[in-house]
């Protein structure tokens, strides 16, 4: 498996090669293996953010018990989640599917008290699992989702945007987590083709159109999968 981890301290996308039963990069102990983070994705490429792994480490120490991870990463063209899901950015965990309702309630309460997850989904939306994520803010849309991206941006949201553009056939953006000239040109082509202002900025309107069109489209010939 190839794993990209964006490190905001160095502004670099780190690259790791790990077997499914090895631990995820930057994870303490064996609290999260590649297989667990990979979940049901068929992709041999995964990505996440250093802050997500660090928050996971801190929460595992805080909760002081193993946490079953049912779903974490997914590529946007595979679908299975909402259009601007944090799972496509490698920032989210769906956990506790193997727990009783009472114990799952305890896990949910602990995730809220922990105060380091950016978002813990209300229990009425996740009756048989506990969702928490380390999304970045502020979102481009008032309703939530991904942050605004522009030339020079870096990280997992750039990877998600590039992945969506590639899947839809707007190639030239690569898949490296760096919003450079090729990514801007591909984004502008997408914007113009979809009646949007071709300003090369991925804000609310562009994210809404891009994610909606790409989610669940399936693995197209232009998907990048190193």
Tell me how far apart the alpha carbons of residues 223 and 96 are, in angstroms, rounded to a whole number.
32
The predicted-structure confidence for 25-40, as pLDDT tens digits, reads as follows 999 999 999 999 999 9
Report the percentage of the chain scoring pLDDT > 70: 100
Tell me how far apart the alpha carbons of residues 16 and 168 are, in angstroms, rounded to a whole number.
27
Asked if 33 contacts 20 with a C-beta cutoff of 8 angstroms, the reply is: yes
3-state secondary structure of 45: strand
Residue among 141, 136, 125, 114 at smallest CA distance from 60: 114
What ranges make up the beta strands (E) of 72-205?
A: 92-95, 119-120, 130-133
Tell me how far apart the alpha carbons of residues 26 and 123 are, in angstroms, rounded to a whole number.
29
Task: Name residue, tokens 């994610």.
Answer: 211
* Beta strands 2-7 and 45-49, pairing class: parallel
The predicted-structure confidence for 88-115, as pLDDT tens digits, reads as follows 999 999 999 999 999 999 999 999 999 9
Q: Is-cis flag, bond preceding 138, omega within 30?
A: yes
Q: 63-76 in b/e burial notation, b at 16+ Cβ within 10 A?
A: beeebebbbbbbbb
Topology of 2-133 in CATH? Muramoyl-pentapeptide Carboxypeptidase; domain 2 (3.30.1380)
Residue 225 is predicted with a pLDDT of 86
**What predicted TM-score, i.e. pTM, was given to this entire model?**
0.97
Question: Does 226 score more than 80 pLDDT?
Answer: no
The predicted-structure confidence for 130-187, as pLDDT tens digits, reads as follows 999 999 999 999 999 999 999 999 999 999 999 999 999 999 889 999 999 999 999 9
Residue 173 is predicted with a pLDDT of 85
Residue 11 is predicted with a pLDDT of 97
What is the chain's mean pLDDT, rounded?
97
3-state secondary structure of 84: coil
């Amino acid at each position: 498996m190839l794993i990209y981890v964006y490190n905001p301290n160095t502004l670099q996308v780190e690259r790791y090669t790990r077997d499914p039963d090895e631990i995820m990069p930057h994870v303490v102990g064996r609290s999260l293996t590649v297989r667990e983070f990979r979940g049901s994705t068929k992709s041999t490429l995964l990505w996440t953010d250093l802050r997500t792994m660090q928050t996971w480490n801190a929460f595992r120490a805080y909760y002081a018990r193993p946490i079953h991870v049912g779903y974490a990463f997914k590529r946007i063209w595979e679908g299975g989640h909402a259009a601007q899901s944090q799972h496509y950015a490698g920032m989210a965990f769906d956990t506790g599917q193997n727990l009783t309702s009472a114990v799952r309630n305890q896990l949910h309460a602990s995730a809220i008290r922990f105060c380091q997850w950016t978002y813990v989904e209300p229990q009425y939306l996740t009756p048989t699992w506990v969702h928490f994520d380390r999304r970045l803010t502020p979102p481009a849309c008032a309703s939530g989702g991904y942050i605004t991206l522009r030339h020079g941006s870096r990280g997992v949201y750039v990877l998600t945007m590039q992945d969506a553009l590639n899947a839809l056939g707007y190639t030239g953006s690569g898949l490296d987590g760096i919003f450079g000239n090729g990514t801007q040109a591909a984004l502008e082509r997408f914007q113009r083709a979809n009646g949007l202002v071709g300003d090369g900025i991925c804000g609310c309107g562009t994210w809404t159109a891009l994610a909606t069109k790409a989610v669940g489209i399936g693995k197209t010939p232009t998907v990048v999968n190193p």
